[in-house]
Amino acid sequence: MPNAINIALIPLLPFAGFLLLGLFGKKFFGKTAGLIGTALLLVSCLLAFQTAYDYFFVYGKVNGAYQQFVPMQFVWLQFSKTLSIDMGLMIDPISVVMLVVVTFVSLMVHIYSLGYMKGEARFPVYYSFLGLFSFSMLGLVLATNIFQIYIFWELVGVSSFLLIGFYYEKPSAVAASKKAFIVTRFADFGFLIGILILSYCSNTLSFAELIQRLTTPGSSELQTAAGYSFLGISALTWGAALVFIGGAGKSAMFPLHIWLPDAMEGPTPVSALIHAATMVVAGVYLVARLFPVFALTTPEVLEGIGWVGAVSAIFAAVIACTQTDIKRVLAYSTMSQIGYMMFALGVSKYGGEEGLGYTASIFHLFTHAMFKALLFLGAGSVIHYVHSNEMKDMGGLRKFLPVTHITFLIACLAIAGVPPLAGFFSKEEILLAAYQHNQAIYYIALITSGITAFYMFRLYFNIFWSKPYHPHGEHQGEGGFVMTLPLFLLAAGALFAGFIPFGTLVSSDGKPLESHFHLSFSIAPVALGLAGIAAAMVLYKSQNERPGRISASLGGLYTAACHKFYIDELYLFVTRKVLFNLVGRPAAWFDRNVVDGLVNVTGNITLSLSEGIRKMQSGKVQQYGIYVLSAVIVLSVLFIYVW
Amino acid sequence: MMEPGLYHILFISAALFFIGIYGFFTRRNLITMLMSTELILNSVNLNFIAFNKYLWPGKMDGLFFTVFVIAIAAAEAAVGIAIIINLYRSHQSIDVASAEDLKY
């Protein structure tokens, strides 16, 4: 049986760190704040590993299938006898996998930040924010009901906002944090309505009951829900689609992705933690959590998810080829990889071997967390060294940053899907799932994997080869042991995580999958990946004219991709020109004239009334006498003739 | 010569009352106004005595009330005149308009 105290401690330890460092950090801890935060997270990470081991190998499997456990649950808000908001801990394969991913990457980032953020004035504040984020993300992962996940969902949004805007003296960071918050908040609005629809239809908030009631054919809840519809689409479809919109906002799916590249204004370790490995996959996690509902009750929404994921994957990959800010390249690459996870869910079915996409998605989430966090931390080392995000300031760094160079190369090979690194296995599974269920998405994914290899190696060659580097000024090298240790550990993850037999651990219905691995099937993706690498090598290994010539010959397409296909401009047009003029201004007029007008009228009436009453108190004794006399006469008349 | 009845006395009392009211509302001089209130009080006294005498001859309640009213009227006159003297000291006038300042 799961140990409730241990599991509860996993999120609570970072929370304790947040409170401790947030309240007393500046006064009492100063430079030791980082060590405290890291130590707390180390404990929490060890507990997570222990939980995962116990779950997968000791008690999790009952009758050949992994079960869901709720080791702790209490009522938080009681609305009525049947409806309450609970707080609890849920243990099942995906939450355990996420526990491991979140605590491990968070620990790596905590350690790395000891070096990266050294000497920062708001060092304790930084660690308290990291603690808050880890707490909220772990709470989100362990949520037992849809409302709890929503609470923590908003909390990760807040901590992301705080960390993107960490350098709040920079106007661009402020703008980016606001953008991230507003865009995700906008999507969360859809999520909230989706929650309301789904919980209204199913009469419950708890995941287990909700899934059970909405997927059992002929259940009374399903029959009731079938009666509701809006614009000719059933309420359940709306609910599922709106919940997915919330997930799409958090996971930066097209067209709600615009906040993710800007979010790179935050400190680089934060990008590694929040905007690569953990928070942005919350959307994938959400869809996976409610997967039976999507797959069994609203398959049309699931198909939509597949297409959104596929479009995001190729769209972001194309943009990534043209960006020159290394963190932005990684941001678009993240978006593209999350697109992979999304369409893997989208092409999956529920149960048995048909659920391969589900397993593949979580598998890719796991391996992606390893190599993408590694890429971001490597990019952090590079930025730390050259004090710039731009590719043109880099080149030839392989001699100066040997550890970063090797680990970055490993991560690039992993994401490009070169066997036998981690990315190869998870990507193969995704492609296989797509191949079996939706050929069109499969070909999109295949092309994307070639582009992925190309832009990753464009990045790699531009940073580490290209032109000779001339060091200028003082350099701290690679930042010592604290900054290289996470790189080594994550590189180990990127190298070996693929060998974990994921199919036996995580599947849509808890029963282990047969491992079906076809060597012949992986020829095409690997060949495309290698072709991408070769192309990048030809173009970028040493400085030459070819990239300029190619971009010139592509003309409009290149410019469009360079400008991120003008999505930002489109949003600006829609908000500034259309929404402001059509909604904002009339609303402002209404506010100024009707709402304020009502208030002013009330004020004026009171004023004139009191003006009249004021005159009654004139100070004239005889006038008072008149009042008394007339009152007496009126009362006399009343008493004599009326009553 | 006819014996005056209750109605005659009530008529005089009512006349006295309205003369007092009239004086109170029309005079500007505070002393005159004070005198008018005395008239009103006396009309009430007359009523008390008349009702006592004609309706409940065996009782004394009306008479007692009259004595009370006379005593209180005396006290009220003393207070009223004291106020008027103070008003005269500060405003050099006993016009009722000069008392309007009191509202501030």
Which chain A residues are Cβ-neighbours of B96 within 8 angstroms?
A: 620-622
Is B96's CB within 8 Å of A622's CB?
A: yes
Tokens of A392: 């043109």
Question: Of A480 and A622, which is predicted with more confidence?
Answer: A622
Average confidence (pLDDT) over A435-439: 82
Q: Give the pLDDT band of residue A517 (cuts 50, 70, 90).
A: low
Residue predicted with more confidence, A258 or A603: A603
Strand partners for A343: none
Closest approach of A604 to chain B, Cα-based (Å): 25
Closest-CA residue in chain B for A616?
A: B103
Handedness of CA A7, A11, A12, A16 (dihedral sign): positive
Residue A594 reports pLDDT greater than 70? yes
Report CB contact under 8 Å: A617, B96: no
Query: Which range scores top for mean pLDDT: A229-233, A366-370, A476-480?
Result: A366-370
Q: Which DSSP string do the residues of A94-106 spell out, in sequence order?
A: HHHHHHHHHHHHH
- Complex ipTM: 0.84
CB contact under 8 A, B24 and A622: yes
Cβ–Cβ below 8 Å for A619 and B25: no
pLDDT at A372 over 70: yes
Taking the C-alpha atoms of residue A22 and residue A283, their distance in angstroms, rounded to an integer, is 28
Largest CA distance in chain A: 114
In chain A, what residues touch B102 (CB-CB under 8 Å)? Answer: 619
Q: How close B87 gets to chain A, by Cα (Å)?
A: 14
**pLDDT of residue A473 exceeding 70:** no
| Neighboring chain B residues of A622 at a CB cutoff of 8 Å | 24-25, 33, 96
Residue A91 belongs to what H/E stretch? strand A84-91
Say which range, A94-108, A217-231, A350-364, has the weakest mean pLDDT: A217-231
Q: What is the CB-side half-sphere exposure of residue A499 using CA atoms within 13 A?
A: 6
Distance in angstroms (rounded) separating the CA atoms of residues A324 and A330: 11
Cα distance from A170 to chain B (closest Cα, Å)?
60
Count CA within 13 A, CB hemisphere, residue A429.
Answer: 33
* Residue A603 scores a pLDDT above 90: yes
* Exposed / middle / buried, residue A638 (Cβ in 10 Å: 0-12, 13-18, 19+): exposed
Tell me the backbone φ, ψ of residue A66, rounded to 5 degrees: -75, 130
Å between B2 CA and nearest CA of chain A: 33
CA distances from A422 to A189, A359, A360, A371, A500 (A): 36, 15, 12, 8, 9
- According to DSSP, the residues that pair with A61 across neighbouring strands are A66
pLDDT value at residue B36: 93
E-strand ranges in A194-314 read 229-230, 233-234
Q: Is the pTM of this model over 0.90?
A: no
CB A518 within 8 A of CB A436: no
Q: Is the dihedral of CA A330, A333, A338, A344 positive or negative?
A: negative
Statement: residue B87 has pLDDT above 80: yes
* Residue of B96, B98, B101, B104 to mutate for A, most A C-beta atoms under 10 A: B96
Q: Residue B32: which of A286, A295, A621 has the closest Cα?
A: A621
Is the per-residue pLDDT at A119 higher than 90? no
Nearest to A292 by CA among A249, A234, A341, A350: A350
Give the length of chain B: 104
User: Contact A426/A505 with Cβ under 8 angstroms?
Assistant: no
Tokens for A538, please give them.
């030809």
Q: Is B102 within 8 Å of A619 when comparing Cβ atoms?
A: yes
pLDDT given for residue A516 in this prediction = 64
The predicted pLDDT at position B44 comes to 93
Residue B1: pLDDT band (50, 70, 90) is: low
Cβ within 8 Å, pair B103-A626: no
What integer best gives the mean pLDDT of chain A? 84
Q: CB–CB of A488/A407 below 8 Å?
A: yes
Summarize the confidence of residues A442-457 as an average pLDDT.
Answer: 88
CA proximity to A258, closest of A313, A323, A335: A335
For residue A80, CA distances in Å to A83, A85, A126, A197, A204 come to 5, 10, 41, 18, 11
For A630, nearest residue in chain B (alpha carbons): B21
**Mutate: best of A616, A617, A618, A622, partner B, most B CBs <10 A:** A622
Does pLDDT of A220 surpass 80? no
- pLDDT above 70: percentage of residues in chain A: 97
Q: Which residue has the higher pLDDT, A576 or A342?
A: A342
SS3 A400: coil
Helix axes of B6-26 and A621-637: crossing angle, nearest 10 degrees: 140
Q: Do B100 and A620 touch (CB under 8 A)?
A: yes
pLDDT band at A635 (very low <50, low <70, confident <90, very high): very high
Backbone phi, then psi, for A22, in 5-degree steps? Answer: -70, -40
Question: Mean pLDDT in chain B?
Answer: 89
Condensed to tens digits (0 to 9), the pLDDT of residues B13-37 reads: 999 999 999 999 998 899 999 999 9
CB burial readout A410-449, b (16+ within 10 A) else e: bbbbbbbbbeebbbbbbbbbbbbbbbbbbeebbebbeebb
Q: Which residue of B has its CA nearest to A617?
A: B103
pLDDT > 70? residue A353:
yes
Q: Is the dihedral of CA A304, A305, A308, A313 positive or negative?
A: negative
The phi and psi torsions of A275 (rounded to 5 degrees) equal -100, 15
Q: DSSP characters for A325-365?
A: BHHHHHHHHHHHHHHHHHHHHHT--SSGGGGHHHHHHHHHH
What are the counts of helices (DSSP H) followed by strands (DSSP E) for chain A? 28, 6
Please count the residues of chain A: 643
Q: How far is B56 from chain A (nearest CA, A)?
A: 23
Q: Are B99 and A619 inside 8 Å of each other by CB?
A: yes
With vertex at residue A128, the alpha carbon angle to CA A124 and CA A131, rounded to the nearest 5 degrees, is 140
The pLDDT of residue A144 is above 80: yes
Min CA distance, B1 vs chain A (Å)?
36
Alpha carbon distance A54, A66 (integer Å)? 12
Mean local confidence (pLDDT), A13-33: 83
Q: How confident is the model over A258-281, as a mean pLDDT? A: 85
Residue type, A393: D
| Contact assessment for residue A448 and residue A336, using Cβ atoms and an 8 Å cutoff | yes
Chain A residues with beta carbon closer than 8 angstroms to that of B25: 622, 625-626
Q: What is the mean pLDDT of residues A580-594?
A: 87
Task: Report the alpha-carbon distance of residue A354 to residue A365 in Å, rounded.
Answer: 19
- pLDDT top residue among A114 and A225: A114
Which amino acid is located at A387 in the chain? Answer: H
CB contacts, 8 Å: B101 with chain A: 619
| Number of Cβ pairs < 8 A linking chain A and chain B | 23
Confidence bin at B74 (pLDDT 50/70/90):
very high
Report residue A228's pLDDT band, with 50, 70 and 90 as the boundaries. confident
Name which of A95-99, A549-553, A602-606 the model is least confident about.
A549-553
pLDDT of residue A474: 61
In order of A56, A165, A206, the CA distances from A89 in angstroms are: 17, 31, 12
Nearest to A116 by CA among A128, A127, A105: A127
CB contact under 8 A, A620 and B101: no
Q: Are A430 and A514 in contact (CB under 8 A)?
A: no
Nearest-CA distance A601 → chain B (Å)? 30
Contact A625 B97 (CB under 8 A): no
> What share of chain B has pLDDT > 90, as a percent?
57
Residue A621 with chain B: CB contacts under 8 Å: 33, 96, 99
Contacts with B31 from chain A: Cβ below 8 Å = none
Contacts B21 to A, Cβ<8 Å: 629
**Beta pairing class for A233-234 and A69-78:** unpaired
Q: How far apart are CA A354 and CA A487, in angstroms?
A: 36
Residues on chain A bordering chain B, Cβ-to-Cβ distance under 8 angstroms: 617-622, 625-626, 629
A618 interaction partners in chain B (CB closer than 8 Å):
100, 103
Name the more confident of A466 and B51.
B51
